[in-house]
Structure 1
Amino acid sequence: MPDNYKQYKEMFSESFSVQHKITTTSVQGTYHIHDDLELILLCSDGMDCNIGDTSHTLSANTLLIFNHMDLHYNHLTHPGTPNERYVVVFKPEFIDFFSSVQTDLLECFYFRPFKNPCILPLSEDEASQCRAILERIIQSADMPDTMFGFDLYPKFLLGEFLLKVNQQYRNYHTISFKNTSDYHTIYQVINYIHMNYDKEITLNLLSDIFFINKSYLCTSFREVTGMSPNQYLIHCRIMKAKELLLCGTGIDDVCSLAGYNNLSHFSRSFKEKTGISPKKYQMLHKT
């Protein structure tokens, strides 16, 4: 095995991928946010995960759940020791076909009114069931394209995997059944904000796009995220600004890329949320 990285099983499609990885050194350089949704199933101990400003040392049978605005950085606790995991990446719209008002498979990515929602500890049996489905997805890459259903089989398996993850997420956080039908539209609103945080978004706009009463939108949105829609929008912009600053992007560019059209407004908003100016934040984290 190479000293830095080995990827020995994988399944890719245009809209999602499943990879089985073994890593002996950290492969991610710094904090980042994904364009897609990501799940990481740890099969061994020895992974540290920084989520926002908090660091977690994780053990085997832990599932990491990252949406578009989860600023994170994964690295090995003991470089040189192999770390095994499965990584699943997909676009939210890819699972629209599998979701319903009663069963929204995006719930584990968006319903987060509690502490550490990105980290889901699993039992050995739960983790084993998840690994088995992921292995079947990877093996499906070897199906000949002449076999009937070859293109649908991995998609249905991904749907099965996400169904199981959401069931485990609900059990762990004691989420009631009614939440999905109550919050289905709110998950769509959250996804819209994630995709359009750099544009002007108002409560009136969200109400018009999703045909939802503004008062109900605010109440339900806070139940799901713990914030108002505007507070959440600011949160998303600050998370993106942090990522860009950590990548060395210039302050003026960060301002516009994060959705602000006024540098002083951006600096004031950033300092209110972090306690320091964008420039100082970038200098403090400069490597």
Structure 2
Amino acid sequence: MNEKLLSFQLKNGAFSYMHSITQSPHDEQHRSYMLDCYEIYYLISGSVNYQVEDQTYSLSPGDLLIITNKEIHRPYFTSDSSYERILIFFTPEFCQHYHNESYPILHYFERKKPGSFNRIPSKLVEQLGGYFTDMEEHHYSNQPANQVLIELTFIRLLIHLNDIIATHLHTSQLEGEYNAKIEHIVTYIHNNLYHELSLRHIEDTFFINRYYFSHLFKKVTGYSFKQYVIHKRIAKAMELLKLSVPPTEVCKMTGFEDYSNFYKAFKRVTGVSPARYS
């Protein structure tokens, strides 16, 4: 059972904060996600492995994840103990007032390679817990300026995160587990979404048995090859639709065989039609 301890939004949903706890969690409760926003995930209690693209992160209480709007992700649970976390979802537009050339506040989110350097361990972010506490206290304070105080506290959190990342980005402390072969193929997928991407094509291109690859890909990423390709194509389609590219052209540019398949896949992943999304 999932219980929301606190949930609120700012600026018409451009910023969403959710503090929740799940009793006896299991994998079926949590599907794969690919959201149209950035996400900060803070684990308070519980035992969970978190899959982001082809990386698996074994999380401990106090660990923090940074997830972009181009990354497929989902949790897998290693016990039935209660699972408490804080999730913050925000759009780039929410932070644009604080962005400038001398200090691009979202530089890491915008430049980070998908599936890399998502996890920041608790020993590096132990001081960040205070920001979450402050945001919750501001929410409950009922002060006229509480929304402004929440926003400013969040910006301070981002600045602190940037400092941590700048110091520790090139250390193994931020890495998850990965498979070099799969990572290479995932990069190929990202760069060739508009081309044929079948198991046979991967077999011929990388000289790897398709059945072995299919099993290995599922084991490493947590997704079937077909599911992963569809999600990445939809992510690209979302980008193009935001640029006002017509849905029929987006269909062709993202490798779908016909518009009917594109329409069904897009609505299944996003919940809306391509035309409505644009």
> Quick check: TM above 0.5?
yes
Q: Percent identity?
A: 17
Measured in 1, the distance between the counterparts of 2:192 and 2:99 equals 24
Q: Quote the residue 2:147 is aligned against.
A: 151
Measured in 1, the distance between the counterparts of 2:118 and 2:249 equals 23
Query: Structure 2 length normalisation: TM-score?
Result: 0.59
Q: Quote the residue 1:98 is aligned against.
A: 98
Displacement of 1:258 in angstroms is 10
- Residues 256-285 of structure 1, C-alpha deviations (whole Å, 9 max, x = no match): 69933279x546xxxxxxxxxx9xxxxxxx
Measured in 2, the distance between the counterparts of 1:174 and 1:39 equals 20
Q: Quote the residue 1:37 is aligned against.
A: 38
Superposed CA RMSD: 3.8
- Number of residue pairs the alignment of both structures matches: 198
Measured in 2, the distance between the counterparts of 1:101 and 1:16 equals 23
Displacement of 1:173 in angstroms is 0.7
Displacement of 1:174 in angstroms is 4.6
Pair 262,163 (structure 1): closer, same or farther in 2 beyond 3 Å = closer
Q: Is the 8 A contact 1:31 1:243 kept in 2?
A: no
Q: Quote the residue 1:243 is aligned against.
A: 231
Pair 88,150 (structure 1): closer, same or farther in 2 beyond 3 Å = same
Displacement of 1:104 in angstroms is 1.8
3-state SS in 1 of match to 2:35: coil
Specify the code of the residue in structure 2 equivalent to 1:97: H
Which one of 9, 14, 17 corresponds to residue 12 of structure 1?
Answer: 9
Measured in 2, the distance between the counterparts of 1:127 and 1:144 equals 28
Specify the code of the residue in structure 1 equivalent to 2:98: F
Deviates more, 1:38-47 or 1:88-97: 38-47
- Residues 127-172 of structure 1, C-alpha deviations (whole Å, 9 max, x = no match): 3321111111112112335x3x333111111101111111111111
Pair 50,58 (structure 1): closer, same or farther in 2 beyond 3 Å = same
Measured in 2, the distance between the counterparts of 1:127 and 1:166 equals 11
Specify the code of the residue in structure 2 equivalent to 1:105: I
Measured in 2, the distance between the counterparts of 1:49 and 1:164 equals 23
Measured in 1, the distance between the counterparts of 2:54 and 2:250 equals 22
Deviates more, 1:5-14 or 1:83-92: 5-14
- Residues 37-88 of structure 1, C-alpha deviations (whole Å, 9 max, x = no match): 111011235111122244332222221111111011113221x201222111
Q: Is the 8 A contact 2:47 2:60 kept in 1?
A: yes
Measured in 1, the distance between the counterparts of 2:72 and 2:17 equals 21
Specify the code of the residue in structure 2 equivalent to 1:136: D
Pair 10,266 (structure 1): closer, same or farther in 2 beyond 3 Å = closer
Taking the TM superposition and a 5 Å limit, the aligned residue runs for 1:1-287 are: 4-13=1-10, 14=12, 15-24=14-23, 25-26=25-26, 28-78=29-79, 80-112=80-112, 116-123=116-123, 126-144=124-142, 147=144, 149-174=145-170, 231=191, 241-243=229-231, 259-261=250-252, 265-266=255-256
Specify the code of the residue in structure 2 equivalent to 1:71: I
Q: Is the 8 A contact 1:11 1:138 kept in 2?
A: no
Displacement of 1:94 in angstroms is 0.4
Q: Is the 8 A contact 1:137 1:157 kept in 2?
A: yes
Pair 257,244 (structure 1): closer, same or farther in 2 beyond 3 Å = farther
3-state SS in 2 of match to 1:133: helix
Displacement of 1:9 in angstroms is 2.7
3-state SS in 1 of match to 2:33: coil
Measured in 2, the distance between the counterparts of 1:92 and 1:161 equals 15
Deviates more, 1:46-55 or 1:67-76: 46-55
